[in-house]
Copies of this chain bind each other. A is one copy, B any other.
Amino acid sequence: MLDHKWDAGPGENKAAVVLLSGGLDSTTVLALASKADCSCYCLSFAYGQRHLRELELARANAARFRAVRHLVLRIELDAIGGSSLTSAEFTGPKVVSSAAVGGEELEVKIPITYVPGRNTIFLAYAASWAETLGITDIFIGVNTVDFSGYPDCRPDYLEALNIALNLGSRSGRQRRPFRLQAPLLNLSKAEIIAKGMELGVDYALTHSCYHPDSQHRACGRCDACVLRRRGFAVVGRIDPAPYQPQPEGSWAR
Give me the interface of A with B, judged by CB distance under 8 Å.
13-15, 39, 41, 68-69, 71, 73-76, 79-82, 84-85, 90-91, 93-98, 100-103, 106, 115-121, 123-125, 127-129, 131-135, 151-152, 154, 156-157, 160-161, 163-165, 167-174, 176
Tell whether A71 pairs with B75 under 8 Å between CB atoms, given A116-B128, A128-B115, A168-B119: no
Given contacts A41-B93, A120-B128, 10 further A-B contacts (CB under 8 A): A80-B128, A96-B133, A96-B134, A106-B132, A116-B132, A117-B131, A117-B168, A120-B164, A151-B167, A154-B167
Main secondary structure of the interface of A (DSSP, over half): helix
Residues of chain B with a CB closer than 8 A to A102's CB: 170-171, 174
A116 to B176, CA, bound (A): 14
A76 to B47, CA, bound (A): 12
Contact A121 B119, beta carbon cutoff 8 Å: no
A103 to B121, CA, bound (A): 25
Residues of chain B with a CB closer than 8 A to A98's CB: 134
Contact B71 A79, beta carbon cutoff 8 Å: yes
A211 to B71, CA, bound (A): 30
